[in-house]
Structure 1
């Protein structure tokens, strides 16, 4: 393992002993301890000098990121240069302050769609007001993630159930594709819901423009076909260059338009009065959008047998969003495709992402050369990226293994489509369904029974708490009524996952009644964490 990527477990001793060592020291502030818990910059940056692989991976990813940033800016509804500013600011900041040494952060399709969904109902896309609110949204997302990282809220990355994520992701991918259909066909639409806009464009063949259709389909073919040829195939770069050449040759379709050169100075001049209307979308984006970088970081950490710190990743993604917002960008996340390209290009450390941001920054003066890029090429880039988000296999598994989870995934998908552009409502609906399914399962306690002479054995399986105690008591009483001749009852509690006060009180009521009937009761295999409660209630 390279020196700069020694895991937190090796660099940082147990936090308990750390507290003991620093207790009473004047400099051991809460902030310092928090930073040490996160394994932050103090001893992780700078690493050793970049390797040859890092030097190659940096520009390789940058040449893909630049056209993608224009495409995702179009998807998010902000001017194209805002995508470039985001691409210049986010990768290096996320790499320095995050947990993964391979993760490439920046503009991504899913987060761009979520940003559009949060802002489009409030104002017209593409305006200066809209772009300012997008920057504010990025700052709010950053604040939420930074706080979650500092407060050790990384466990929240596991609380969004897989059926909810699967349903929302597929629904979002369909919306992403639908949002690009009008651009691909050359038929503009003012509809809020991307499905409505796509349907209108498809049903207006008189307005179809052959040029954008050919360019868009060619772009999709280059990207999807190139992936099958080789993982390092520079499809986005090739499609962009071809698009610029076609435009130079006189292509008359819609183009990106003027792109200013350079990078703006960081600014706090944001529409702060709008914070109240953007807090809920920011929280949703912070949590849902984190699923992608978290999955990427976990995957590559597992491959390299390294430790992944979700708290630090939350923090790193938060700082990246703060930087993006202050640079007039919009919310960012982690990219599967660019991270894979980064790894395959030979990246060995965080230097690769730092160099990616540096290359984007260095190439910003050349950005005006892309002003003639046909928007159909950007539509093709977005569609090709969205296709990779569509996975049918999880739905098949839910159908085969758990119908209740299937019943969470499908409604979440449908809600995502129907409630667009307010997709945060679909996420909340999915989370509500997942909680309802969980509670429904928790209410059920199965009681296994068998007889040995005059002894009845019962083994409840489930969680014995205030919600399930009545059902468990009913089943136990029914088993006793079916065996009136018994003189002894053995309750095996090793199948109880959790036991609360209400559950223990229900047991006490049962024991009191059985004592009056002359039945001896024995509790067997009480979990250690419940033994103290049982002793206190039943003594």
Structure 2
């Protein structure tokens, strides 16, 4: 009787909201929804600019996607909508295909939202969320830091009232801009600089106030009163009011093929951001979250963004943290936020005409400053050379490939997988001797001796698969020559937790080679799953006599009396 509601809540998470309302009430959700809306509305306009799209599309991305993400996601406190990193990825990846702020560019952004949403939805339905773990933390750290740096640099021209020329490489275009003789627009620079100063001051002095909303509203009012647009200043301009028109652009196969790699990267990166937020929030609340269900929720949110004619969305780390800190426990808070966005679209769009673009650039700069964390790169170096290399290569390649920054994270992904494979091909192998504490340990590290002149113990700390099969063969044959008169090689196999066909072939080969040399291959500590694999192929029948010892002590008690030279 209880299984059906439980299944229903897992499939449709919003069915569990009433139970949480009875425990915590709804006041926290209502307050959090309004609080997040005060931040989201100006951020949505800024992130649309970051993606190279008309500002009102940011509001569209904050409406229906927020509703869908809240209804079908497993963590109620996540705030879904436009975010800096996904917006940058979307805009940068399309620069080589179309001119920003054009109908073609918008259509491509919508298809990108559709593709990335379908990828996440399919992964979630197939319970394949584990695939997203392919992006290691060092790779993400390198990518996020480089992206934050690029975001900041990309907003400098708008902050100063300049126009960034299109170039094959972003950094080259930026260099040409600032190396040129074009003067910056003084009123724009004043708006941008003063906005940035005011945002930082409000955050430090009165962090509880909605600083972004207050500063943006004040700057818009001053812009209208002083005639900023008439002085040549760039402003948001006309923002259509009302609901978006729902539908999808015309899609052709070549467009899908071209955008698929970028859509896959967006699906990975955006979900990593959502997963990080969900992990932090649920650790504080003690409430569980489901990775695959969240994939479904985020995928459906992207599909809702595509249907709204907007760019890809994700769960914002900063807004989700604010949502949780303000008392959100269920997706009701996101519904309240979406209602506030709807009211803004219905009644406040005429007020946005005079909003300076430089002000939005300052808002973006303040947000991305929180993404910069070079300590993560140094921490990766301290953790290991391979991690550090993956982080640094990802960081550098993201900068070099810009605006095609998806190539940067793909480079880091391939490098980290290659390094992992290389590490796995060099498993830890050690010859063992009796330690004074009564255990068998690495004889080289502890200066020990072999347990017997005719016997060698070799520990193999790795799954025995096609990746390590060759290393196993070489290690066993090397161990067989570690002493002049070795009659038995005992493999301490506690670290072998899996054996595939290549691994079994390697065992059969060394078993036969040792037999022809008059030597014995023995195992101790083999785990059940390893023995089961050997039994299925019949190899266990040849190994079982000397393969089922549980410990080194057990093996030596049975093997030493058989050796030609007695111990001691």
Distance 2:429 2:128 in 1: 37
In the TM superposition, what are the counterparts of 1:106-255 in structure 2 within 5 Å? 106-192=81-167, 193-204=169-180, 206-229=182-205, 231-250=207-226, 251=228, 252=231, 253-255=233-235
Query: Counterpart of 1:39?
Result: 11
In the TM superposition, what are the counterparts of 1:88-99 in structure 2 within 5 Å? 88-99=63-74
Distance 2:519 2:258 in 1: 63
Whether the 8 Å contact between 1:164 and 1:430 is mirrored in structure 2 is: yes
Query: Counterpart of 1:267?
Result: 247
Segments of 4+ in structure 1 off by > 4 A? 8-11, 45-50
**CA offsets 1:408-431 (integer angstroms, 9 cap, x no match):** 111111111111122222222111
Helix, strand or coil: the match of 2:522?
strand
* Residue 243 of structure 1: how far off its partner (Å): 1.2
Identify the match of residue 335 of structure 2 among 340, 346, 354. 354
Distance 1:489 1:130 in 2: 67
Q: Does 1:77 align with 2:52?
A: yes
C-alpha distance 473-279 of structure 1, shift in aligned 2 (>3 A): same
Q: Does 1:537 align with 2:531?
A: no
Higher-Rg member (1/2): 2
Whether the 8 Å contact between 1:231 and 1:341 is mirrored in structure 2 is: no
* Residue 39 of structure 1: how far off its partner (Å): 2.6
Query: Counterpart of 2:360?
Result: 378
TM-score when scaled to structure 1? Answer: 0.89
* Residue 76 of structure 1: how far off its partner (Å): 0.4
Distance 1:128 1:407 in 2: 41
* Residue 146 of structure 1: how far off its partner (Å): 1.4
* Residue 111 of structure 1: how far off its partner (Å): 0.5
Distance 2:382 2:13 in 1: 46
Query: Counterpart of 1:32?
Result: none
Distance 2:220 2:130 in 1: 45
Helix, strand or coil: the match of 1:482?
coil
In the TM superposition, what are the counterparts of 1:394-413 in structure 2 within 5 Å? 394-413=376-395
Helix, strand or coil: the match of 1:464?
coil
C-alpha distance 279-38 of structure 1, shift in aligned 2 (>3 A): farther
Helix, strand or coil: the match of 2:480?
helix
Query: Counterpart of 2:281?
Result: 300
Query: Counterpart of 1:68?
Result: 43
* Residue 319 of structure 1: how far off its partner (Å): 1.1
C-alpha distance 278-37 of structure 1, shift in aligned 2 (>3 A): farther
**CA offsets 1:171-205 (integer angstroms, 9 cap, x no match):** 11111111101111212122244433433343346
Helix, strand or coil: the match of 1:249?
helix
Query: Counterpart of 2:555?
Result: none
Helix, strand or coil: the match of 1:523?
strand
Query: Counterpart of 2:315?
Result: 334
Q: Does 1:423 align with 2:405?
A: yes
Distance 1:234 1:205 in 2: 39
**CA offsets 1:294-340 (integer angstroms, 9 cap, x no match):** 11011101111111111111111111111111111111011112112
Distance 2:154 2:459 in 1: 55
**CA offsets 1:458-489 (integer angstroms, 9 cap, x no match):** 11122322232222322322222131223332
Whether the 8 Å contact between 1:181 and 1:201 is mirrored in structure 2 is: no
Task: Tell me the number of residue pairs that the alignment of Structure 1 and Structure 2 aligns.
Answer: 510
Helix, strand or coil: the match of 1:349?
coil
C-alpha distance 448-87 of structure 1, shift in aligned 2 (>3 A): same
**CA offsets 1:197-232 (integer angstroms, 9 cap, x no match):** 433343346512222222222323333343334553
Helix, strand or coil: the match of 2:539?
helix
Whether the 8 Å contact between 2:118 and 2:299 is mirrored in structure 1 is: yes
Helix, strand or coil: the match of 1:306?
coil
Whether the 8 Å contact between 1:447 and 1:460 is mirrored in structure 2 is: yes
* Residue 538 of structure 1: how far off its partner (Å): 4.1
* Residue 399 of structure 1: how far off its partner (Å): 1.2
Whether the 8 Å contact between 2:159 and 2:189 is mirrored in structure 1 is: yes
Q: Does 1:452 align with 2:451?
A: yes
TM-score when scaled to structure 2? Answer: 0.85
Distance 1:428 1:10 in 2: 42
Comparing 511-520 with 373-382, greater Cα deviation is found at: 511-520
Whether the 8 Å contact between 1:135 and 1:270 is mirrored in structure 2 is: no
Query: Counterpart of 1:363?
Result: 344
Distance 1:98 1:230 in 2: 33
Helix, strand or coil: the match of 1:459?
strand
Whether the 8 Å contact between 1:185 and 1:201 is mirrored in structure 2 is: no
Distance 2:79 2:238 in 1: 27
Whether the 8 Å contact between 2:531 and 2:540 is mirrored in structure 1 is: no
Whether the 8 Å contact between 1:490 and 1:521 is mirrored in structure 2 is: yes
Comparing 195-204 with 426-435, greater Cα deviation is found at: 195-204
* Residue 517 of structure 1: how far off its partner (Å): 3.1
**Root-mean-square deviation over aligned CA pairs:** 2.2
Helix, strand or coil: the match of 1:255?
coil
* Residue 67 of structure 1: how far off its partner (Å): 0.7
Query: Counterpart of 2:485?
Result: 485
Query: Counterpart of 2:501?
Result: 501
**CA offsets 1:373-432 (integer angstroms, 9 cap, x no match):** 010110011111111111112211221121111111111111111111222222221111
Distance 1:310 1:324 in 2: 21
Identify the match of residue 285 of structure 1 among 256, 266, 288. 266
Query: Counterpart of 2:300?
Result: 319
Whether the 8 Å contact between 1:133 and 1:270 is mirrored in structure 2 is: no
Query: Counterpart of 1:310?
Result: 291
